[in-house]
């Protein structure tokens, strides 16, 4: 999976895979590591306009 930057109106095709999502220890560890950045005051300011 890679980031997708779209400008303007577009159509989308979504693929649903016939397998369960894998929320293993690696994903949980990544969330903990990213949480440090998410909880910074700068992040609150950056997203304040969406509240």
* For range 31-40, the mean pLDDT: 83
Greater model confidence, 7 or 22: 7
Look at the pTM and tell me if it is higher than 0.85.
no
The secondary structure element, H or E, covering residue 13 is: none
The distance in angstroms from the start CA to the end CA of the chain is 28
At 7 the pLDDT is 92
Q: Let me know: does 37 contact 43? Beta carbons within 8 Å.
A: yes
* Helices first, then strands: H and E counts in the chain: 2, 0
Answer yes or no: is pLDDT of 45 > 80.
Answer: yes
């Amino acid at each position: 999976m890679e980031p997708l930057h779209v400008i303007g109106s577009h159509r989308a095709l979504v693929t649903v895979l016939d397998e369960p999502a894998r929320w293993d220890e690696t994903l949980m560890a990544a969330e903990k590591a990213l949480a440090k950045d998410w909880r910074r005051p700068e992040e609150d300011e950056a997203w304040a306009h969406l509240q």
